[in-house]
A and B are shown apart, each in its own frame.
Chain A
């Protein structure tokens, strides 16, 4: 799963960690590196409180791009296990919009992979976010 509707749930995160800890393809992974993108409880420049963020995507292209990133990272870093999911739709402050997990033999390999995935997702996957304020007005983040 690369793109999911809504936030990334606690249940998904828990199951992913459990699955990763049981993964024994190359012995236990020596490192499990994760990144969670969390919606901040934020205000815009004028002080208006952001009610939630709405993520929109070009679904089919976003999935293709996520698959390309997955394959490229698998090839470059050869992780034991790799999970990358981006949420779409309304996501509130404190909820998870992006989750990446790389289980690898060594920390450097995992940390570098996570960093590269975040960068690639931000720059190559057609996803957009709209900050929606309490009064119903909104602003596209560019």
Chain B
């Protein structure tokens, strides 16, 4: 099952940094699930990375994928 990572303020909303998620086959299904569980995410800006690559469109997920929700970067 895909692994899911949350960073920065998003981890505060979900109250976890890492979890596994069952029953989703794409990033769209994943986000529908997350928006349902954590409606506050709808107010936040973030990017989605699958296996460390940013994705802009709905992406098919496999069992070994690592999906990360990345809020706006603030390094420096």
Contacts and interface: CB of A to CB of B under 8 A. Distances in A.
Given A60-B52, A61-B49, A122 B8 contact: no
Assign chain A's interface to a size class: 20 to 34
Given A58-B68, A58-B70, A140 B9 contact: yes
Contact of A64 (B52, B68, B71): B52
Assign chain B's interface to a size class: 10 to 19
Contact of A125 (B12, B45, B71, B75): B75
Contacts of A98: 75-76
Contacts, number: 61
A118 B5 CA distance: 26
Interface string B14-37: 000000000000000000000000
A58 B75 contact: no
Interface in A25-77: 37, 55-58, 60-61, 64
Interface string B52-76: 1000000000000000101111111
Majority-rule SS of B interface residues: loop
Given A58-B5, A58-B70, A127 B52 contact: no
Contacts of A130: 8
B71 A127 contact: no
Interface of B: 5, 7-9, 12, 45, 49, 52, 68, 70-76
Given A126-B73, A127-B74, A140-B74, 9 more contacts: A58-B7, A58-B68, A98-B75, A118-B76, A128-B74, A140-B8, A140-B71, A142-B9, A142-B74
